[in-house]
Structure 1
Amino acid sequence: MSTLIKNAQILQAEQLTEQDILIDDGRIKAIGHDLNQAYGPADHVICAADRFVTPGLVDVHVHLRDPGLTAKETIETGTMAAAHGGFTTIGAMPNVDPVPDTPEKIALMMARNAEKAHVHVEQYASITKNRVGDELVDFDGVKQAGAFAVSNDGSGVQTAGTMYQAMLGVAKAGLTLAAHVEDDSLTYGGVMNAGPVADKLGLPGILGISESAQIARDVMLAEASGVHYHVCHVSTAESVRVIRDAKRAGINVTCEVSPHHLLLTDADITMDNPMLKMNPPLRSPKDRAALIAGLLDGTIDMIATDHAPHTDEQKTGSMQTAAFGITGLETAFATLYTAFVKTRILTLSQLIDLMSTNPAKLFGLKQAGRLAVGMPADLAIIDLKHDYEIKANQMFSKGHNSPFIGWHVSGNVLMTLVDGQVVYGKDQQA
């Protein structure tokens, strides 16, 4: 079946231009004007007048909680949330139960993802058995079974020797190692950023050096091993500095920042509020400024949500007992577009690079991140002009643990197509 998207606003040479997009057999067949004359009438027409059409967003850091933790999220609900947010490709982290730490478990995960997901799901294997400890997984085996990268997300690799041996094996297998960077000996049981705000609230703080010190260790190991070392959810000024210096030295390091660390700081925590508890925690305004500077100078390569749904019960009470993490798939584009593009800190083209083109390119996802003839028709149709309110009852994720509920934003995703098929749409005429 063919589909024609009429009068779409697409980015060409960093400018929005009106074009039609013809989709056939799940791929983009043509981009231009008067496509009906060249190719004949399409089976289905979507009117996208005054709507922005972008290559589907790519998020390399998502928690689907499935299997084992499905009270929080499932493959179906998490990937529907992704589609609602304009994401067409996501990377599923391995902190599920059982942990995908063998080729056989990865194969099962891949089959479940293919059966149940509404968008493309790339699957992480863990770095070590059961995602903790020092016993390494079979990197060649998990790659052959379908893993696109490895990570112990949720836990930092504590031993330098383990990380070095892992990097050697991951490099040999041709995978990416995505590191949750956290030195447990420097966290001191904290629940938010260490500093004046934590002191005022009487809450234990997490030192920023628990993150940056492990990055400093790892970039030297990455240089020695030759691995593609990717730093998850960078949050401190010192981390940005270490990564910037490593890149200048020619080390193969990339990194991501999460929307919440760009939008909020610990100054926004005015009371003991579990909705603002995440790991890494919200840092200081100085750290936020360094993250934005890192985006602008290319030190930070991409934005990834770290979508971390929890049940309502797990995000109530005190920050001292509530779970770490917030959701992000359904709010990321709109909040970032409103805060950074509308204020002209970033261009729309830069935001799409950070949320689609760059993650696809740097993680070797050749079938994602570009709107071009021959590419899969993975697209999002977005209303950039009208404000709307983020509401919990309009979310598809099981988790409503978001500090952005109630925000008024622009950048409403109206429709998402995966392989040319509408997987999310407020109506059939975007």
Structure 2
Amino acid sequence: MKPILLRGGRVIDPANALDGQYEVLIRDGEIAAVETNINLQDVTVIDARGCWIVPGLIDPHVHLRDPGFPEKETIQTGLRAAAAGGFTAVAAMANTSPVNDNPATTRYMLERAREVHSARLVPVSAVTHRLGGTEPVDFAAMVEAGARLFSDDGIPIDDAMILSRALDETKRLGYAVALHEEDRVLSCNGALNAGAVSKRLGVSGYADSAESQRVRRDLALAIGAGGAVHVCHVSTPESLDLIRAARRHGAQVTCEVTPHHFSLDENAALSWGPNAKMNPPLRNRDDVEALHAAIRDGTIDMIATDHAPHDPKSKRMDELGALFGPQHQAARLDQGDAEIFAHAANGVVGLETSLGLALELVHRSLIQPARLVEMMSLNPAALLRLEAGTLVEGAVADITVIDPNLEWTVAPGKFLSKSRNTPFAGMRLKGRAVLTMVGGEIVYDGRKA
């Protein structure tokens, strides 16, 4: 294969404090040079004028539903959707069927991923067998099989002794535990944020304290154990304050925010119904502003999609779809419909909309481009213990080329993901990935789309 030269773009590599006009030479799957003027013969030149050239984006939190739920997503469709979204690697959570709590399932996932020749799959091991919360996995065996993070995501670890043991084991091995923070006594199976919208629709409410109280407990355990913890999909100001305080006390804690939590508030459920239902729920406008402030001040380390594909049946769209729509807001649901809403699956797809939504933070001058790259590449690489997130010479050529000014409309029918459950359909966004390279190979070319 001939070397590839990316020419005319703005290179943004926060790991090396690099931000300017450079050319990037890729040879044999690696970064061969990043210089201002590279003159070589017999190279494939890619014109990147008007674009950013950044280390490949990494999503630390996705659900690929494979093995077990091919009607929602497969490793093939999920990784191709990831590449289309600009991601060169994604961390696949363990809530599959069977659960990724054993080396055989981990190996299956990695083998399927290699067959796709698209974005990389980073396996996330369960913390407990079958996500049951009582029997820890063999942590060392899972690391040997390829796991780079541990999480029972979707289910909180209620037993403090089990979590303490997990923190001890992962500390010894050099990995982190990612936590779904929910006190289920306080969340009470709530369908939406406890507030004006849940009251208007007549559905059960999910209190902020269900998240923050569990964050409080788990950060105390982390400080005691000296282990690394990662707070998934943080959504409340109280949780953010606890994370700040824990860091002052020496806790090794990172956290993530999702694009849906920083882009939408609870009112989205009035129009999008089950497609705006997730756990934790969309919060109120003040909470969204607190997330923006935490992104600006560095409290929030990374952006994660929590990509959660669901088929229409799981979302109960056949029963509830007609009650909601982007052009009108739903009225109060009758008791039967409210119960159906409560049982609709949680989550939204996000791999193909995340970058466009995140770029809104740049366009609104909430953050600088380098901070965006840090949150979507460098910091996730560190969490997952990957040698990635940089364009330094000799690094593997995982690269995302972004046109920050390309305007486009979210069209779920064009998603490469198998599912369509999004509250962003029809939204106009500015900026998207136009080229994704993994190991020097082009795995998505938006210039041909």
Q: Same fold (TM over 0.5)?
A: yes
Aligned ranges 1:387-402 → 2 under 5 Å:
387-402=407-422
Q: Which residue of 1 aligns with 2:356?
A: 334
Query: Among residues 370, 374, 378, which one is paired with 1:357 in the alignment?
Result: 378
Q: What is the rounded CA distance, in whole Å, between the counterparts of 1:362 and 1:163 in structure 2?
A: 18
**Native 8 Å contact 1:103 1:138 kept in 2:** no
Per-residue deviation at 1:16? 5.2
Q: What is the rounded CA distance, in whole Å, between the counterparts of 2:51 and 2:19 in structure 1?
A: 10
Amino acid in structure 2 at the alignment position of 1:30: A
**2:150 match: secondary structure:** strand
Amino acid in structure 1 at the alignment position of 2:418: K
Query: Among residues 332, 335, 343, which one is paired with 1:321 in the alignment?
Result: 343
Does residue 1:372 correspond to 2:392, yes or no? Answer: yes
Q: Which residue of 1 aligns with 2:337?
A: none
Distance 1:235 1:117, change over 3 A: farther
Q: Which residue of 2 aligns with 1:180?
A: 180
Does residue 1:91 correspond to 2:91, yes or no? Answer: yes
Distance 1:208 1:104, change over 3 A: same
Amino acid in structure 1 at the alignment position of 2:314: Q
Amino acid in structure 2 at the alignment position of 1:112: R
Per-residue deviation at 1:270? 2.5
Q: What is the rounded CA distance, in whole Å, between the counterparts of 1:213 and 1:410 in structure 2?
A: 37
Q: Which residue of 2 aligns with 1:288?
A: 288
Q: What is the rounded CA distance, in whole Å, between the counterparts of 1:343 and 1:272 in structure 2?
A: 25
**2:12 match: secondary structure:** strand
Q: What is the rounded CA distance, in whole Å, between the counterparts of 1:126 and 1:412 in structure 2?
A: 32
Does residue 1:23 correspond to 2:26, yes or no? Answer: yes
- Deviations for 1:66-111, whole angstroms, at most 9, x for unmatched residues? 0101110011110111101100011000000001112333233332
**2:270 match: secondary structure:** coil
Q: Which residue of 2 aligns with 1:264?
A: 264
Q: Which residue of 2 aligns with 1:238?
A: 238
Comparing 48-57 and 277-286, the one that deviates more: 48-57
> Structure 1: any 5+ residue segments left out of the alignment?
none
Does residue 1:418 correspond to 2:445, yes or no? Answer: no
**Number of residue pairs matched by the alignment:** 424
Q: What is the rounded CA distance, in whole Å, between the counterparts of 2:19 and 2:169 in structure 1?
A: 44
Per-residue deviation at 1:193? 0.5
**2:130 match: secondary structure:** helix
- Deviations for 1:25-63, whole angstroms, at most 9, x for unmatched residues? 001111224322xx4331x22111212211111111011
- Deviations for 1:375-398, whole angstroms, at most 9, x for unmatched residues? 111111222223111111221001
Amino acid in structure 2 at the alignment position of 1:351: L
Q: What is the rounded CA distance, in whole Å, between the counterparts of 2:216 and 2:28 in structure 1?
A: 47
Per-residue deviation at 1:423? 0.5
Does residue 1:128 correspond to 2:164, yes or no? Answer: no
**Native 8 Å contact 2:128 2:137 kept in 1:** yes
**Native 8 Å contact 2:232 2:256 kept in 1:** yes
Per-residue deviation at 1:271? 5.1
Q: What is the rounded CA distance, in whole Å, between the counterparts of 2:272 and 2:118 in structure 1?
A: 36
**1:65 match: secondary structure:** coil
**Native 8 Å contact 2:127 2:137 kept in 1:** yes
Amino acid in structure 1 at the alignment position of 2:45: V
Q: Which residue of 2 aligns with 1:407?
A: 427
Per-residue deviation at 1:407? 0.8
Q: What is the rounded CA distance, in whole Å, between the counterparts of 1:16 and 1:363 in structure 2?
A: 25
Per-residue deviation at 1:116? 3.1
Q: Which residue of 1 aligns with 2:330?
A: none
Q: What is the rounded CA distance, in whole Å, between the counterparts of 1:16 and 1:134 in structure 2?
A: 48
Amino acid in structure 2 at the alignment position of 1:420: G
Q: What is the rounded CA distance, in whole Å, between the counterparts of 1:408 and 1:265 in structure 2?
A: 18
Comparing 158-167 and 231-240, the one that deviates more: 158-167
Aligned ranges 1:10-89 → 2 under 5 Å:
10-11=11-12, 17-36=20-39, 39-42=40-43, 44-89=44-89
Q: Which residue of 2 aligns with 1:157?
A: 157
Q: What is the rounded CA distance, in whole Å, between the counterparts of 1:11 and 1:167 in structure 2?
A: 35
Q: CA RMSD in A?
A: 1.7
Amino acid in structure 2 at the alignment position of 1:17: G
